[in-house]
Structure 1
């Protein structure tokens, strides 16, 4: 397949990404007769499809699997006429309207409005057991999954503010929380360090690296190495029921960074309490613009706002396409 774009199509509203933000934006945009086109990206349904049970999304009193929740959202978006397509955005030109997004290196979509809902990818250690036990004890979101570990023993990997926040949150649910920190100190702010130190059921394992997990049908423990590479290197196993990654997220914003303002990590900056970016008609919703909450419900809310803003922008600009 050629890397040179060969096809062009113009749409009123283009949505990139298919998590809660993207699907919600599609529902609102479709109901506003914007004829949205949504490209699902490399992971249709987003991060939630890797989550087994979700119990904190309103409207599902008995809980719901992440896959089912996203399938419900997809069907709802399709019901109102969203054109949902497979494909990943591989390049962007936001220098002038209509904004040009290249799909899979060969098709260019010219969009009067663009909603970026490409999400953020949790960083992992890279050990095979993280994949093996995905959804069976391995998680990258304490707020999402901590409830399932009430009165149990869990471990949090990381030494920054996020890891401390996750550990403190889990300490309110779990019997025991281990913090696995590869350095001999915490990188977190003084305030967060003090909170961790003052929480009796948090134990910090400094200078420890995780090299594996073990268990039948789910995580039952972790293989650790203390002072890896040193003369006094020792191997340690700890019994745990849950293993939480808290070493950061990588926002999926790379192709937009030449045009949009981002923070030092890569999260797209928006204006005030809106999904508006520094470019009129371009909006960012969900985790790609949210380094703080990263919840399905907040992503859905921002997707709603993005679609409403897109509708208002088109009305103000008078850029309604002629009938096909």
Structure 2
């Protein structure tokens, strides 16, 4: 078991983690970054690696693949001296300083920690909903099925096409309203006969003439388009009351059933909200533990965009730098 000492340890691999690493490294904090290995079932690089074209990140007017922009983030972090380990932090001890972080092969002693482990979109499992190749069953994820309408909804594959959203909360109402700007029609598929969304969000969605609700229903299968292009062509939708299965022709399906923040490894040592997100003090990235900061989707349940994650990553690095100055953390390379 190797032991490392560092002024700053960053946990995560998405835009928040790498923005923090770039700022921290340029401030001569020589951070260590643990990008994880299939942590939360997501490859190093975070949620961006699970999407295709990213068209709303400034600086890429032609768009860029999610895996490519994630690789650029990583390269830029390394350029300024961030030391990256492709290992998952599975345990922390924040009860005393220096903080202790553990992987299967290493122990890190850190004066400050930035948690930027993200949140994974919840997905439903049914025939055709997963990853795969060749256009057959189980392969329409990123080929018409997504978990982020704001990120993907404006893509050409969805423009002026019928779309569907699964969910019944505020997120589903917001997704449907947003997608109505691009799709020819938007169906909200909900397994119950009433939404749990706030009344104002319901009114906003239901007053839109392009939005239609399919009540008491669930998707049991996604199938390909009739041209054999390997993209989504429609859904089999089951009425949970009658058991009848109907056919719904759509070119896009968006899960809006919530996210699960990657905070279990913190083991309750940092204050979390009722949904498991890290609580930060307003206007900062400071958590309930002095010297521990949080950035990105692990503390943001509202925006959940790559650009906002990067912004809070910058904030976390600056907050950490100021904290380390206050405690007089010694200069010098991490080891």
TM-score tier (shorter): over 0.9
Partner in structure 2 of residue 266 of structure 1: 276
Equivalent in 201, 207, 216 of residue 198 of structure 1: 207
Give me the TM-score of the superposition, normalised by structure 1: 0.94
2:32–2:84 CA contact under 8 A, matched in 1: yes
Superposed displacement of residue 122, structure 1: 0.5
SS in 2 for 1:109: strand
Partner in structure 1 of residue 236 of structure 2: 223
CA deviations on 1:7-30 (whole Å, 9 max, x unpaired) are: 422111111010000111111111
**4+ long deviations beyond 3 Å:** 321-324
- The whole-number CA distance in structure 1 between the counterparts of 2:10 and 2:192 is 41
Superposed displacement of residue 107, structure 1: 2.2
Equivalent in 169, 186, 200 of residue 178 of structure 2: 169
Is 1:85 aligned to residue 95 of structure 2? no
1:21-100 to 2 correspondences below 5 Å: 21-41=16-36, 42=38, 43-100=43-100
Is 1:125 aligned to residue 141 of structure 2? no
Superposed displacement of residue 254, structure 1: 1.1
Superposed displacement of residue 292, structure 1: 0.4
Superposed displacement of residue 127, structure 1: 2.2
The answer to which of 107-116 and 253-262 deviates more is 253-262
Superposed displacement of residue 246, structure 1: 0.1
Partner in structure 2 of residue 3 of structure 1: none
- The whole-number CA distance in structure 2 between the counterparts of 1:59 and 1:319 is 36
> Could you list the runs of 5+ residues in structure 1 that have no partner in the other structure?
1-5
State the aligned residue count: 315
- The whole-number CA distance in structure 2 between the counterparts of 1:304 and 1:194 is 37
- The whole-number CA distance in structure 1 between the counterparts of 2:146 and 2:277 is 21
Partner in structure 2 of residue 111 of structure 1: 110
1:242-321 to 2 correspondences below 5 Å: 242-320=252-330
SS in 2 for 1:283: strand
- The whole-number CA distance in structure 1 between the counterparts of 2:180 and 2:89 is 40
Equivalent in 7, 13, 18 of residue 12 of structure 1: 7
> Could you list the runs of 5+ residues in structure 2 that have no partner in the other structure?
131-138
Superposed displacement of residue 233, structure 1: 1.2
SS in 2 for 1:151: coil
Give me the TM-score of the superposition, normalised by structure 2: 0.91
Partner in structure 1 of residue 152 of structure 2: 145
- The whole-number CA distance in structure 2 between the counterparts of 1:128 and 1:243 is 13
